A and B are shown apart, each in its own frame.
Chain A
């Protein structure tokens, strides 16, 4: 690929999905586009990019943008966050909601491990009120990731990253090297393709929103707007969960660190938000 190709891809990723594509990391981009080029029937990445330039076809543009997203994930990634949600956040919410469902949204769910981990953890919490109801939502920009997430099928390698063996035997069944999550867990999650840069106001409110290991791949100038947009989807006593090292760029007036657990933020009451702004 030429530097001009990289510039084109970076510009597309930035414009369509706010992606921060490092134009110096040609090998990273090539490794992501090669499978797409093959699937689309092109002889090479160069042929794919030529078609992209020539046709400007929306479907192909989105396929390329989706391929540029970073999908790395694993079960119970950063385990302490799940422990904190299970033992502190969800019990508090279950007392406040009583018979209303607790709505949990994995906002860039990739292949589903995050939201499934939380569904498993919620079912095991000893502190959650008996009878508490949960609704889980997983969204991602990538259709391919969502398809995999929805299938609930994982490789032997994937189920050995982060998933304790006791959870594996409890919630999964295998067919040779393929492991399938139980229908009960799988059917507790609803899936939707969502571009987080789009208008999210029709989505309703959530009690827990997870946006972990995402901001690092998003153009920094968009972080404030994105966090504000998600904060607006939070219930008054809901929490937004970022990665431990993410910063609240530009959204500190709306949110504050809710606990000792790094990355867990709550909404400021409206009067405080005005004072802080």
Chain B
């Protein structure tokens, strides 16, 4: 079973995302900020990361830049999931190594479509 690390400072969003992703066959781990997420990845690199942008301690883009410099950090497929919905943010995310990008609000259909887009399904 593929693993997905859900990184979001909102417990509600993590719960919703977990339910959607479990339905499409992922095993879920959760982190509340970029620092926690990085610790998870150093312990066990996931197949996918669903990543919020704005979080305390370490935000999503900073996490992604650090992740891509970790040993094995180029393997996870990273899908941003954020309220930041302008082209500048999307470009910055792609430059930092994101594979796909979801703009909130999202639903199960969008997550499934974007994960398929990113080659995860």
Contact = CB atoms under 8 A, between A and B. Distances in A.
A162 B113 contact: yes
Interface of B: 85-87, 90-91, 94, 98, 100-103, 106, 109-110, 113-114, 117
B92 to A, nearest CB: 10
Contacts of A164: 100, 117
A165 B113 contact: no
User: Which of A157, A160, A161, A164 is the most central at the interface, judged by chain B CB atoms within 10 Å of its CB?
Assistant: A160
A160 B102 contact: yes
Contact of A174 (B87, B91, B117): B87
Contact of B103 (A160, A161, A166, A169): A160
A161 B113 contact: yes
B90 A169 contact: yes
Contact of A169 (B91, B102, B106, B110): B91
Contacts of B98: 165
A263 B114 CA distance: 25
Contact of A173 (B87, B106, B109): B87
13 contacts: A160-B102, A160-B114, A161-B109, A165-B100, A168-B90, A169-B87, A169-B91, A169-B94, A172-B87, A173-B87, A174-B86, A174-B87, A176-B85
B85 A174 contact: yes
Nearest to A156: B103
A177 interface: yes
User: Which of B98, B110, B114, B117 is the most central at the interface, judged by chain A CB atoms within 10 Å of its CB?
Assistant: B117
A-side interface mostly: mixed
A173 B102 CA distance: 16
Contacts of A162: 113, 117
Interface in A176-211: 176-177
Interface residue range, chain A? 10 to 19
Contacts of B86: 174
Interface of A: 156-157, 160-162, 164-166, 168-169, 172-174, 176-177
Contacts of A165: 90, 94, 98, 100-101, 114, 117
A157 B114 CA distance: 12
A177 B85 contact: yes
A233 B37 CA distance: 57
Nearest to A177: B85
A5 to B, nearest CB: 32
Contacts of B87: 169, 172-174
A157 B101 CA distance: 13
Given A160-B106, A174-B87, 16 more contacts: A156-B85, A160-B102, A160-B103, A160-B113, A164-B100, A165-B98, A165-B100, A165-B117, A168-B101, A169-B87, A169-B91, A169-B94, A172-B87, A173-B87, A174-B85, A177-B85
Contacts of A174: 85-87
Contacts of A169: 87, 90-91, 94
A166 B94 contact: yes
B89 to A, nearest CB: 10
A177 B105 CA distance: 11
A157 B113 CA distance: 11
A168 B103 CA distance: 12
A173 B85 CA distance: 11
A255 B100 CA distance: 40
